[in-house]
Amino acid sequence: DVQMTQSPSYLAASPGESVSISCKASKSISNNLAWYQEKPGKANKLLIHSGSTLQSGTPSRFSGSGSGTDFTLTIRSLEFEDFAVYYCQQYNEYPWTFGGGTKLELK
Amino acid sequence: EVQLVESGGGLVQPGRSLKLSCAASGFTFSSFPMAWVRQAPKKGLEWVASISSGGGGTYYPDSVKGRFTISRDNAKSTLYLQMDSLRSEDTASYYCARRGYAGAHWFAYWGQGTLVTVSS
């Protein structure tokens, strides 16, 4: 199975700052990577697929980059609504696997 | 608006069975592949089953293969997950998810989940 390793597990930041979350795959997954946002009481939200393609409705302050084994989710100019848990997911091969999550907390 | 509403969760003893349902609305259900994803308490996400738009193709990870069965009723816009021989490690919130489109293996929309607790 492809192991997905996210770092950091926790990240504290303030509104207006920019943050980056790393997701590393145990083998090459081309650009077959998605990013999701999890918030309490809400359905998970797809932010980005294909490594860097913003899903319709995702604010432009979110961006994704990378291919192969190393990927990054960047959020520029954080807003209060961005404080949440973020997961990456590879869909290059079965079984599809997720990273362990990164909790973005308010500093 | 896409809506996915799961039901059927609850407390079940180890070794017993449970069937989850997911009622879909706001899109042409029969046109999209669907999936189930679970999240154990304080753990990350785990994909557990996928099904093609017509229902002819199903896929599972080894952790549930042979015990879980995904199915769909396109006439009722409903997705199912039959879970047999349940184990304590199957305790989790189970989410119904719609894939982006046929061939898109990401999860474009999610439900809010139904909790399954496996305990004696």
DSSP string, chain A: ---EEEE-SEEEE-TT--EEEEEEESS--TT-EEEEEE-TTS--EEEEETTTEEPTT--TTEEEEEETTEEEEEE-S--GGG-SEEEEEE-SSSSPEE---EEEEE-
Q: State whether A95 and B61 contact (CB < 8 Å).
A: yes
> What does pLDDT average to over chain A?
97
Q: Which of B95, B106, B109 sits opposite A49 (nearest CB)?
A: B106
Per-residue pLDDT tens over the stretch A33-88: 999 999 999 999 999 999 999 999 999 999 999 999 999 999 999 999 999 999 99
Q: What is the pLDDT of residue B104?
A: 87
Set of chain B residues whose Cβ sits within 8 Å of the Cβ of A34 = 106-107
Rounded CA-CA distance A25/A4 in Å is 5
Per-residue pLDDT tens over the stretch A4-34: 999 999 999 999 999 999 999 999 999 999 9
Adjacent-strand bridge partners of A87: A36
Residues of B within an 8 Å Cβ radius of A: 4, 44-47, 50, 59-62, 95, 97, 100, 104-112
Mutation for B interface: A96, A97, A98, A102, most B CBs within 10 A: A96
Q: State whether B100 and A43 contact (CB < 8 Å).
A: no
Q: What is the pLDDT of residue A7?
A: 96
Q: What is the pLDDT of residue B100?
A: 86
Q: What is the pLDDT of residue B44?
A: 92
Q: What is the pLDDT of residue B60?
A: 97
> What does pLDDT average to over chain B?
96
Per-residue pLDDT tens over the stretch B25-71: 999 999 999 999 999 999 999 999 999 999 999 999 999 999 999 99
